[in-house]
Amino acid sequence: EYDNETLEMKSIDRIRLESIREKVTKLKSITQTAYENGDYSADKWLQHHEKNLERINKLLNN
Would you list the domain boundaries of the chain? 17-61
Question: 5: exposed, middle or buried (C-beta count within 10 Å: 0-12, 13-18, 19+)?
Answer: exposed
The answer to whether the beta carbons of residues 60 and 19 sit under 8 Å apart is no
Counting as low any pLDDT under 70, the low residues of the chain are: 1-2, 5-7, 9, 62
Burial pattern 12-38, b for ≥16 Cβ within 10 A else e, equals eeeeeeeeebeebeebbeebeebbeee
What type of residue is 45?
Answer: W
Q: What is the mean pLDDT of the chain?
A: 91
Does this model's pTM top 0.85?
no
pLDDT given at position 2: 60
